[in-house]
Amino acid sequence: MAIGHPHHRNALPFYSEHVVGKPLVGTTEKEMAAGVTSLKNRKALVIVNDSSGLLYLSNQPTFNISEGAIIVFSGEAIQFDFDPEIETKIFGKTTELTLEIRCLEVK
């Protein structure tokens, strides 16, 4: 082993479980999760917008779409990879519609 190399291999990410859900997202910010709240120690969140509308995302519990947000277009899926030791929330909303969005959380 070369000088300076860590003696302990970093744990590789792996899949152990997942949860899926179809939250309804409207004009009020909603935590993007498969269930009521985010899966504890999740490694990834996949949001699939298969709806007929645009979804706006932010890491802020309240945000102004006109000032900037992540747009998830209809027909687009977006994945966030997290540090499982740090609780990170993603919030979503729309400009006027209520959309059924698919969420997959991976641990």
Residues that bind another protein (CB under 8 A): 48, 50, 52-54, 70, 72-82, 95-97
Closest approach, Cβ 3 to another protein, in A, equals: 26
Parallel, antiparallel, or unpaired for β 30-31 and 91-93?
antiparallel
Nearer to another protein, 34 or 57 (CB): 57
Nearer to another protein, 17 or 83 (CB): 83
Nearer to another protein, 60 or 95 (CB): 95
Parallel, antiparallel, or unpaired for β 24-25 and 18-21?
unpaired
User: Using the 8-state DSSP alphabet, how is residue 40 labeled?
Assistant: T
Paired tokens of 8: 């302990």
